[in-house]
């Protein structure tokens, strides 16, 4: 898991999250181009109310995908490789450190 290999740094993750802010928010329930990421950790994929997900993401949620550290680590590295057909245009984060830090940032807004 990324968190065990690297110390997670939420402050650094907030800076990494700047790459995501055009489409997502983490601290409110407001959907933008992408769904709100508030409460993301341990939430099933494609479950944010009021957001229209791609069929591929909806299928992942129906198949039982849950956003935890392991699934987020894999997804954030290569979104289109993990969910073929996702609407998310972002190509992914490049380093394990960035991924671990952004997950730490997102954890602040999850139960």
Right CATH for 2-107 from 3.40.50.2300, 3.30.470.30, 1.10.760.10, 1.20.120.400: 1.10.760.10
44: DSSP letter: E
Mean pLDDT for the stretch of residues 21-49: 97
Model confidence at 8, pLDDT cuts 50, 70, 90, reads: confident
**Confidence check: pLDDT of 105 > 90:** yes
Contacts of 9 (CB under 8 A, 6+ apart): 100, 101, 104
Could you tell me the residue ranges of all domains in the chain?
A: 2-107
Q: pTM, whole model, 2 decimals?
A: 0.90
Q: What does the pLDDT read at residue 110?
A: 93
Joined together, the tokens standing for residue 100 give 């671990």
Question: Average pLDDT in the 63-84 region?
Answer: 97
Q: Is the pLDDT of residue 74 over 70?
A: yes
Q: How far is CA 70 from the centre of its chain?
A: 11
User: Using 50, 70 and 90 to split pLDDT, how confident is the model at 6?
Assistant: low
Q: What are phi and psi of 53, to 5 degrees?
A: -85, 160
């Amino acid at each position: 898991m990324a968190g065990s290999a690297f110390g997670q740094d939420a402050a650094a993750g907030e800076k990494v999250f700047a790459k995501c802010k055009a489409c997502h928010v983490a601290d409110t329930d407001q959907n933008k181009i992408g769904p709100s990421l508030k409460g993301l950790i341990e939430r099933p994929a494609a479950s944010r109310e009021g957001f229209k997900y791609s069929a591929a993401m909806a299928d992942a949620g129906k198949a039982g995908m849950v956003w935890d550290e392991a699934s987020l680590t894999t997804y954030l590295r290569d979104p289109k490789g993990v969910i073929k057909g996702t609407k998310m245009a972002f190509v992914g984060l490049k380093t394990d450190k960035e991924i671990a830090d952004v997950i730490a940032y997102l954890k602040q807004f999850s139960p």
